């Protein structure tokens, strides 16, 4: 029986010693402070992610606009090339007509 009393007294002494040595209030305050910091950091991370997502959407929209502008420029160049070709053909026709008129005038003057 003596052994059980000693064990119980030792256990009681350990509990009393631990209760006296460890004050949970400062630890709880530190934990609460850390929770607040984690919450603030999470908010900042969420805001940064939202900003990055918005920037990615803007970049994608700019890329699409750039592609559309390149297509429009290509179509305009094609139209300009067709207009140049038509103008050259018309100029050739005008030159040929002028040459015929000149020949007819020379014939009428020489008679």
What's the average model confidence in pLDDT over 26-41? Answer: 88
Note the pLDDT of residue 17.
58
| Mean pLDDT score across all residues of the chain | 86
Answering whether pTM is above 0.85, one says no
Rounded CA-CA distance 10/21 in Å is 16
pLDDT tens across 50-95, in order?
Answer: 999 999 999 999 999 999 999 999 999 999 999 999 999 999 999 9
pLDDT value at 10 more than 80: no
Taking phi over 0 as left and psi of -120 to 50 as alpha, with beta for the rest, 50 belongs to: alpha
Note the pLDDT of residue 3.
61
Give percent of the chain with pLDDT exceeding 90.
Answer: 61
pLDDT value at 111 more than 70: no
Note the pLDDT of residue 30.
85
From the number of C-beta atoms within 10 Å of its C-beta (0-12, 13-18, 19+), residue 60 rates as: exposed
């Amino acid at each position: 029986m003596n052994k059980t009393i000693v064990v119980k007294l030792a256990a009681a002494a350990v509990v009393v010693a631990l209760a006296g040595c460890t004050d949970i209030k400062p630890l709880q305050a530190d934990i609460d402070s850390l929770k607040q910091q984690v919450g603030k950091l999470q908010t900042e991370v969420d805001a940064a992610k939202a900003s990055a997502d918005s920037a990615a959407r803007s970049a994608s929209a700019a890329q699409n606009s750039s592609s559309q502008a390149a297509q429009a420029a290509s179509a305009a160049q094609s139209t300009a090339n067709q207009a140049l070709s038509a103008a050259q053909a018309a100029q050739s026709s005008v030159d040929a007509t002028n040459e015929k008129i000149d020949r007819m005038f020379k014939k009428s003057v020489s008679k």
